[in-house]
């Protein structure tokens, strides 16, 4: 989503966004967070004296007028606002959550006006990841389908599902996607972010697959990796005429050990009032199939099951292939909460002992003054009870607690942030192209990013270093202002951008620039990088003690 697109702004930003203020001091559960919270968050040393550096004279710094963000600076939902992302699916790997999403993007008519989302031109899958559940790293997009994509036989890539497995001694990553409603493909990679390739050259599930010819929509895959090493694929949807209460279009099949084949034939599942959106998770020794109810739930269905149109429903089983029985309703249609409805698509997952649900809403497009069916991903936390019940999950803009803090003294990627205004992301090197190593770009005066919960420890930094390069065809100039706790917070340093080498089409090199800090910061704070000038791009940043 390009920020310079001419669109009509709504009268207000998302809740909390107009003020562009952020409360200082973040909270996070767990021993690690408690240790950080116990540190001092001001410049007073433990012996009661002041740090000598606090007495340094602070120069007057004029920060530019801030570019409006598309969500409040206290909000963690939507997860990202530099691009849209629908139909989210979560995969946990090496203490990190990767979120794969249908790459919704504005469609335009011949006059340049934004059209209703047709979904017909979508052939990419957006990828972001996090290890703290608040700051998300943008990995770009996987070109999954189309003649220039991985799977050249497929036109579209909708509703991805991801899984990983160790095969022949090394981890392999599998990305399942829907070619519209006509079949399911699979891509494979050595990395969660690619590059991916098409190991089959054709669909994994098609109309020719046994028991699938009468499935209206062969889409919306979900994958279960069971404790015994076996894996299962769930898919399907659509409501045949006259079969509102019992569509009969859900399927489950065991995957082969190679994850790119199936064992036996897909089996029908008894899923009442199914519309779409297969989901699967395991808690204890029970299996939970979750899905979106259809838009034709009648009074009899509501009386029997308690759900309404396009809500997320949970079924329970003792076996991964069922039979499943009705358990409960766990998520209302986001329209009942945020006032703008859409199809309902979700994923339930566990990370670091906490349960979450990822889903999409249309609040981002509404904040932009657009209501054309473009969706963005949210995540909210919930508690799974011992009896397997979840209850109705609360949908919020505030979102989740931060699970760990960002180390100010590590090499941090510039595309890892919680909130942004104006910036875009782009490939940082020739190998990444679209998905992989990304950098901040399209920077103009007033743009910013907020990195939530940065831990400066008990020792104040003395310098700030960033890897920067000039934007192709531009003369780079400006400053990166550093401030804490809000965009109007204290500026404790400024990195001047000047004299960068020119970047040509074959040169992806970044150069290191360092600035001494004029203020003192210790403890845990939200860090704002506020950009002045233009023509430069940023790959990483770090502080030095």
List the one residue out of 98, 95, 144 whose CA is nearest residue 122: 144
From 74, 75, 87, 198, the catalytic residue: 87
Confidence (pLDDT) at 118: 97
The pLDDT tens digits for 228-259 are: 999 999 999 999 999 999 999 999 999 999 99
457, 475 contact by CB (below 8 A): no
Res. 57: pLDDT tops 50 = no
pLDDT band at 315 (very low <50, low <70, confident <90, very high): very high
Supply the pLDDT for residue 502: 73
Question: Looking at residues 63-89, what average pLDDT do you find?
Answer: 96
Q: What is the pLDDT of residues 157-176, one digit of tens each?
A: 999 999 999 999 999 999 99
Place of tokens 């809740």: 15
Question: Pick from 325, 287, 288, 328: which is nearest to 311 by CA?
Answer: 328
Cα 123 to Cα 248: distance, rounded to the nearest angstrom: 28
Q: State pLDDT tens for residues 379-400.
A: 999 999 999 999 999 999 999 9
Residue 48: which pLDDT band, with cuts at 50, 70 and 90?
very low
Active site residue 276: yes
350 labelled catalytic: no
Q: 474 falls in which pLDDT band (50, 70, 90)?
A: confident
Where do the domains of the chain lie?
31-71+405-544, 86-382
Which is the catalytic residue, given 276, 316, 365, 380?
276
Contact 256, 244 (CB under 8 A): no
The answer to whether 188 and 163 are in contact (CB under 8 A) is no
Query: For residue 23, is pLDDT > 50?
Result: no
The third-level CATH classification (topology) of the domain covering 31-71+405-544 is Jelly Rolls (2.60.120)
Residue 147 reports pLDDT greater than 60:
yes
pLDDT in tens, 25-43: 333 434 344 333 333 334 3
Model pLDDT, residue 121: 95
In 3D space, the residue among 175, 274, 295 whose CA is nearest the CA of residue 216 turns out to be 274
Q: Is 166 exposed, middle or buried (0-12, 13-18, 19+ CB in 10 A)?
A: exposed
CATH 2.115.10.20 fits 86-382, yes or no: yes
Answer yes or no: are the C-beta atoms of 244 and 188 closer than 8 Å. Answer: no
C-alpha closest to that of 497 among 535, 440, 542: 535
**Per-residue confidence at 433, pLDDT binned at 50, 70, 90?**
low
């Amino acid at each position: 989503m390009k920020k310079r697109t001419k669109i009509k702004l709504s009268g207000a930003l998302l809740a909390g966004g107009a003020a562009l203020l952020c409360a200082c001091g973040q909270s996070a559960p767990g021993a690690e967070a408690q240790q950080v919270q116990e540190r001092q968050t001001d410049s007073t040393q433990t012996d009661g004296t002041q740090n000598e550096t606090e007495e340094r004279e602070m120069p007057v710094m004029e920060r530019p007028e801030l570019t409006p963000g598309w969500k409040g600076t206290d909000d963690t939902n939507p997860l990202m606002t530099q691009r849209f992302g629908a139909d989210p699916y979560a995969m946990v790997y090496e203490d990190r959550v990767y979120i794969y999403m249908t790459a919704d993007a504005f469609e335009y008519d011949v006059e340049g006006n934004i059209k209703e989302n047709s979904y017909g031109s979508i052939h990419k899958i957006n990828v972001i990841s996090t290890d703290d559940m608040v700051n998300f790293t943008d990995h770009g997009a996987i070109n999954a389908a189309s003649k220039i994509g991985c799977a050249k036989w497929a036109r579209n890539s909708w509703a991805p599902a991801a899984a990983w497995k160790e095969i022949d001694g090394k981890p392999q990553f599998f990305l399942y996607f829907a070619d519209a409603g006509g079949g399911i493909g699979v891509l494979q990679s050595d990395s969660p972010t690619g590059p991916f390739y098409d190991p089959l050259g054709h669909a994994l599930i098609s109309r020719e697959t046994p028991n699938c010819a009468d499935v209206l929509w062969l889409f919306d895959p979900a994958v279960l990796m069971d404790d015994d090493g076996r894996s299962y694929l769930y898919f399907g949807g659509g409501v045949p005429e006259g079969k509102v209460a019992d569509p009969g279009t859900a399927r489950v099949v065991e995957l082969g050990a190679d994850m790119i084949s199936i064992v036996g034939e897909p089996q029908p599942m008894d899923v009442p009032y199914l519309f779409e959106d297969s989901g699967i998770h395991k808690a204890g020794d029970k299996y939970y199939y979750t899905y979106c109810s259809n838009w034709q739930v009648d009074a009899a269905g509501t009386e029997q099951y308690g759900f309404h149109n396009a809500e997320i429903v949970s079924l329970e089983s003792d076996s991964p292939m069922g039979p499943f029985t009705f358990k409960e309703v766990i998520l209302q249609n986001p329209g009942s909460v945020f006032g703008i409805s859409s199809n309902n698509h979700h994923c339930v997952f566990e990370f670091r002992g906490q349960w979450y649900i990822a889903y999409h809403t249309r609040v981002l497009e509404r904040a932009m003054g657009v209501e054309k069916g473009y969706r963005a991903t949210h995540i909210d936390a919930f508690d799974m009870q011992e009896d397997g019940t979840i209850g109705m999950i609360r949908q919020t803009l505030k979102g989740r607690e931060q699970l760990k803090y960002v180390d100010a003294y590590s090499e941090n990627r510039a595309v890892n942030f919680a909130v942004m205004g104006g910036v875009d992301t782009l490939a940082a090197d020739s190998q990444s192209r679209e998905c992989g190593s990304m950098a901040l770009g399209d920077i103009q005066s007033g743009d910013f990013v907020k990195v939530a919960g940065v831990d400066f420890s008990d020792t104040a930094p003395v310098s700030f270093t960033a890897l920067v390069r000039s934007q192709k065809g531009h003369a780079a100039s400006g400053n990166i202002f550093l401030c804490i706790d809000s965009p109007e917070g204290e500026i404790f340093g400024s990195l001047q951008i000047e004299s960068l080498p020119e970047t040509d089409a074959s040169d992806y090199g970044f150069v290191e620039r360092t600035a001494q800090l004029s203020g003192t910061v210790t403890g845990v704070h939200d860090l704002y990088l506020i950009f002045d000038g233009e023509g430069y791009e940023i790959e990483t940043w770090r502080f030095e003690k």
